[in-house]
């Protein structure tokens, strides 16, 4: 399943999608990149099937804490592309390696 660029470059989308079942999504690349409004807590999402998370929140206003994802993706850096996942975003876990566990 592919969510690449699904809400990229949007300035209107801020709906609560925290209850979405994304457990089969493999590609989250740039899903919210350059979005100017989306800031819903997605820490409950099961991203265990993800292989591409790079640029997911690039240059976005996203400011939620996704550290909970760290436990679900213990091998995050070995098998998944998380490069620049939070680059130029407001996310508290901003780095090029992705979220870190609490």
User: How many structural domains is the chain composed of?
Assistant: 1
Domain of 9 in residue numbering reads as: 1-102
pLDDT of residue 66: 76
- The answer to whether 57 and 91 have CB atoms below 8 angstroms apart is yes
What is the pTM for the complete model shown? Answer: 0.78
Mean pLDDT of 18-46: 94
65-83 per-position pLDDT tens digit: 777 776 666 555 566 787 8
Mean pLDDT of 29-39: 93
Q: Is a pLDDT exceeding 80 seen at residue 98?
A: no
DSSP 10-78: -SS-----TT---TT--B-TTTTTT-SS-----TT---TT-SB-TTTTTT-------TTHHHHTTTHHH
Distance CA 87, CA 57 (A): 7
């Amino acid at each position: 399943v592919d969510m690449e660029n699904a809400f990229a470059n949007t300035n209107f989308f801020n709906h609560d999608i925290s209850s979405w079942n994304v457990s089969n999504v493999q590609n989250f690349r740039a899903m919210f990149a350059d979005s100017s409004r989306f800031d819903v807590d997605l820490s409950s999402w099961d991203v265990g099937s993800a292989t591409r998370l790079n640029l997911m929140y690039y240059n976005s206003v996203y400011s939620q804490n996704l550290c909970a994802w760290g436990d679900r993706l213990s091998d995050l850096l070995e098998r998944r592309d998380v490069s620049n996942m939070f680059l130029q975003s407001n996310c508290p876990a901003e780095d090029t390696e992705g979220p870190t566990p609490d």
